Structure 1
Amino acid sequence: MKPIVIGIAGGSASGKTSIAKKLKEHFSVTKHVVIIRMDDYYKDQSEMPMEERLEANYDHPFAFDMDLLISDVKKLKNGEAIDKPVYDFMNHTRSDYREHIECSDVIVLEGLMTLDNQELRNLLDIKVFVDAPADIRFIRRLVRDVNKRGRNLDHVIDQYMNTVRVMHEQFVEPSKRYADIIIPEGAHNTVAIDLLTTKISSIISASMV
């Protein structure tokens, strides 16, 4: 069976990771599922001073190592294993650790720009966009970045106003038009997730015939 690749895009803190986890929980009973976070493919910035790392625009497509991500997805689709980079959010650069990922039945790729790049889109069997109101996304991002990523309040607000909001409107929101499925309310939308899991199951069944 050829791996099924599901791309999940959406704004920062829209609920992409929660939906990816829901899919893994659902299919892990019968299939091997792996989640690939696009955030881990932020470019390495170890040679940059911390001051420059703090000022970098992490919400622009150029912030990601798209060539490596596309290469890794192609390898997984071809049944090959990869050694995936892991991003260090505390130090704003790629960590020295790499995660070994074996080929899986279902590959879930989630991240801001999952649907923005045409070459990457062409590798996806199902394209999903998670839609959430801007105020909800900002509150979730604020809580996450302060509690889990070592940010302070002023930095989160400044980053949101100067880059996150602008880049969302320029790159993330327009990519919604490429989605096969749009899920409002993220993981709380159980009807949409049920429809998505049913569609994935039908593709898996068809590929086994």
Structure 2
Amino acid sequence: MANHLYQNDLPDELDLGPVVAIDTETMGLDPRRDRLCLVQMSSGDGDAHLVQIAQGQTEAPNLTRMLEDPRVLKLFHYGRFDIAMLENAFGVTTAPVWCTKIASKLIRTYTDRHGLKYLLQALADVDISKQQQTSDWGAVELTEAQIEYAASDVLHLHKLRDKLEALLIREDRLALAQACFDFLPTRARLDLLGWGDDNDIFHH
């Protein structure tokens, strides 16, 4: 297992395979206001690949090529936020996607705990620390603790997806979940355009 840190973009020769786990670190929780600082990815092989995004950066050709590639499934936890951040930063529509948080909410209706830490504990017997979640991700030099934290958010998503997908199949909700995943890029775009939770067009 290794963590690889890059500046501004993925290396030209890097192939992360057909299913890539992705997460982002930002300066805040408003994709229209707060800037993207880090994109972390894993192919599920135990390695994490982290791309540090410079302030004002608007292009990352290798990264955005992968995000748009219809042959690559992008795996998120709470993809709505990450997809919006990536679109706001690079003008890219990330698709196709799969979201472990949506899957959990559809299938684990016996609980209201759908955060990544709780999911990994319950379904993958993995305990991750969230201590660095609110640290300064805009720093020029990331600490080793930040790098380890960022990596932990993507290293186990493949396993988590397998567990959740099996439950969705068992309860005959996989097709419904897929319809939700397909809608996520549009939901993220609505957020960027101002139709967020306070002005949700699906509310009464």
TM-score by length of 2: 0.30
More strand by share: 1
